[in-house]
Amino acid sequence: MKSTFWLAALTITTMIFGSCNTNNNLNSTTKKSENMELSNKEKVVALLNSFNTGDSAPLAYINPDKYIQHNLGAGDGLEGLGALMQMAPPQGFKANVIRAFEDGDYVVSHTEYDFFGPKAGFDVWRFENGLIVEHWDNLTEITPPNPSGRTQFDGETEVTDLDQTEANKTLVKNFIKDILQGGNPDKMTTYVNPNKYLQHNSAVADGLDGLGAALQYFAENGLVMEYDQVHNVLGQGNFVLSMSEGKFGKGDHVAFYDLFRIENGQIVEHWDVIETIPPQSEWKNSNGKF
């Protein structure tokens, strides 16, 4: 019932905003005034929580005239979002936001979903004038705890060290360049705390030993993990998300979303989602993954 109510509200919203430019402008002005009371992060959390409650009010946080979709399984705009919601099961989709932070006009959310089955996901939302105008995401199946007993969701959630945002984003950019892209692998302990590295990847254990074992397994079995291009690095305080493109496993074309927590200038915790990018013939929009 919640999903049906949410879909009906979305459909009505699309019809209203698509039928009259004058009303559209008036409604947009009203929304901007109303939305000033909430931060962009709060708007994203409210929108995702509406999956659970059926509350249609957070739909007002999406720009009805400009919603650029990068989830390749959904069409563009509110119409594409409505079509996706129409595919929901009777009980609807569910969303439990674990972490969220802001970087300028962007909001990053780390969410436990029931979305065509249990999923772990990162979403990135771009705002203009207080409204969401663009969305990217990376989703994967929920797996059992990793060898260190950590899940894809547990760990620190509090955003701290706001004065270190730019330094921490630079740290992650250099870590990807030197370590993940192989520019200077000997600098590992410059970036990663050798005494405290908490790992949430489903198959990798804590510490540099766990990371080393995983890399060795890949090498011995002819598997690859190549970060070819970094598309964006977003952060607030101690949390930094990188969005990268490359190859994984047997050479699959993938999107890497890596979330790092930084403490005293070193990486101490890591979560990730790796999603295969489908061939372009299967895309439901033309905006691309990134």
Note the pLDDT of residue 36: 59
Note the pLDDT of residue 7: 52
> Do 14 and 127 sit in the same domain of this protein?
yes
**Does 147 map to a domain?**
no
Taking only the tens place, the pLDDT of each residue in 97-126 is 999 999 999 999 999 999 999 999 999 999
Copy the structure tokens of residue 228.
């070819």
Note the pLDDT of residue 26: 35
Task: State the total domains in the chain.
Answer: 2
- All residue ranges of the chain with pLDDT < 50 are 1-5, 8, 12-33, 35
Residue 90 identity (one-letter amino acid): P
Distance, CA of 111 to chain centre: 8
**Does 71 map to a domain?**
yes
**Does 152 map to a domain?**
no
Task: Assess contact for 163 and 262: CB atoms under 8 A.
Answer: no
> Do 104 and 17 sit in the same domain of this protein?
yes
> Do 122 and 186 sit in the same domain of this protein?
no
> Do 125 and 234 sit in the same domain of this protein?
no
**Does 46 map to a domain?**
yes
> Do 176 and 136 sit in the same domain of this protein?
no
**Does 285 map to a domain?**
no
Model confidence pTM above 0.75: yes
**Does 155 map to a domain?**
no
Say which CATH number the domain at 17 has. 3.10.450.50
> Do 135 and 227 sit in the same domain of this protein?
no
**Does 19 map to a domain?**
yes
**Does 134 map to a domain?**
yes
List, in sequence order, the alpha helices (H) in the chain: 2-19, 21-35, 40-53, 77-85, 165-175, 188-191, 207-220
Q: The domain containing residue 222 runs over which residues?
A: 162-280
Taking only the tens place, the pLDDT of each residue in 52-80 is 999 999 999 999 999 999 999 999 999 99
Q: How far apart are CA 125 and CA 38, in angstroms?
A: 15
> Do 134 and 9 sit in the same domain of this protein?
yes
Note the pLDDT of residue 10: 56
